[in-house]
Amino acid sequence: MQRRNTNQRKIIYEIIKSTDIHPTADWIYEKAKMYIPNISLGTVYRNLKVLQEEGLILEITDGRQSRFDARTDRHYHFKCIKCDSIYDIDLDMLHISADLKHLTKKGFKINQINIDMEGICPKCSKGVNLEKNN
Amino acid sequence: MQRRNTNQRKIIYEIIKSTDIHPTADWIYEKAKMYIPNISLGTVYRNLKVLQEEGLILEITDGRQSRFDARTDRHYHFKCIKCDSIYDIDLDMLHISADLKHLTKKGFKINQINIDMEGICPKCSKGVNLEKNN
DNA sequence: GTATATGCAAACAATTTGCACGCCT
DNA sequence: AGGCGTGCAAATTGTTTGCATATAC
């Protein structure tokens, strides 16, 4: 399929790249309206799908709602159960040595490993945050 | 809150324990109707929530839809992208040594680590499965 | 007896989609 | 010109909830 480089798509991508809060579709939509006032939420969703297919963004989902991330290199996520923020966890913070030999021996072909952590973030443990973010 | 031991709850729990396919709420509902023909889907959802609160079952979610698991000991999941089956991955199959010192030093309090894998399961790689399961 | 649980149906929230029109290439 | 992309609104899907009644304790 031949893809066009529309203004909507460019702006949506820029918005995601411009933040590290791992925004929801709705948050992106609200931001996008500042640039294209009559953009529609459907367009946001369609472009989020396209950007994923192109490998430019990743979808993070907690079951309720998807969030999006323009960081596509290997990293993991930490979600604070108090403020709902999502933190990027770099590999050098988390040394993982997963011995996958057993699994491949049994016939599993592993495409992707997701590691998600949940707990309380530094800000919330210090009592800096009062309520839910984002 | 004082909990009652209703037939509905008992049956829902037994159904989840009786299978390893990690059923959806709807699948559980269909099974439950065999025992309680006029049980409602709302009751299934309410009891799934209660059973989780009691720590008897776990919720696995892929973002679209939740699945439930009566295995509550530490283990992880592998989802086949061809047949949608979910496999339990035992710790002894996957040796993980996550060095969390860095994270705790930075103030993160980690409650839970989820590891989910995606790929192609043994059956599908062998071409045994034809289509989506469940 | 009383509060919790149920069945039913309506409400919800996030996401998807059909359609006619618009605009990249 | 042709077809992909858009805006709009309606539809879909999974899940939750309000209410009157039933039931466990």
- pLDDT tens, residue by residue, A25-43: 999 999 999 999 999 999 9
Is residue A123 within 8 A of residue A133, CB to CB? The reply is: no
| CATH architecture under which domain A76-122 falls | 2-Layer Sandwich (3.30)
**According to the model, what pLDDT value does residue B101 have?**
79
Q: Select the highest-mean-pLDDT range: A29-38, A99-108, B95-104.
A: A29-38
In this complex, do A118 and B110 lie within 8 Å of one another by their Cβ atoms? Answer: yes
Please check the confidence at residue A134 and state whether its pLDDT lies above 50: no
Please check the confidence at residue A86 and state whether its pLDDT lies above 70: yes
CA distance A36 to A25: 15
A90 touches chain B (CB under 8 A): no
Q: B7-17 and B25-35 are packed helices; what angle lies between their axes, rounded to 10 degrees?
A: 120
Phi-psi region of A63 (alpha: psi -120 to 50; beta: other; left: phi over 0): left
**According to the model, what pLDDT value does residue B134 have?**
45
Nearest to B108 by CA among A67, A58, A116: A116
Q: Select the highest-mean-pLDDT range: A54-63, B46-55, B73-82, B95-104.
A: B46-55
Answer for A5: CB within 7 Å of strand C. Answer: yes
Nucleotides of D strand lying within 7 Å of any protein CB atom: 3-10, 13-18, 23-25
Distance between B76 CA and the closest CA of chain A, angstroms: 10
pTM, two decimals, is: 0.89
**According to the model, what pLDDT value does residue A98 have?**
65
Assign domain A7-69 to a CATH class: mainly alpha
**According to the model, what pLDDT value does residue B132 have?**
52
Section B21-37 average pLDDT: 98
Instruction: Name the nucleotide with the smallest C1'–CA separation from B24.
Output: D14
Interface A–B counts its CB contacts (< 8 A) at 118
Domain ranges of chain B: 7-69, 76-122
Higher pLDDT, A109 or A96: A109
CA distance A61 to A117: 13
Please check the confidence at residue B103 and state whether its pLDDT lies above 90: no
Supply the DSSP string of A98-115, one letter for each residue: -B-HHHHHTT-EEEEEEE
The model's pLDDT over B62-94, given as tens digits with 9 standing for 90+, comes to 888 999 999 999 899 999 988 889 999 987 767
Higher pLDDT, B107 or B91: B107
Residues by Cβ under 7 A, strand D = A 1-4, 6-9, 36, 38-43, 46-47, 50; B 4-7, 24-26, 41-42, 45-46, 49, 61, 64-66
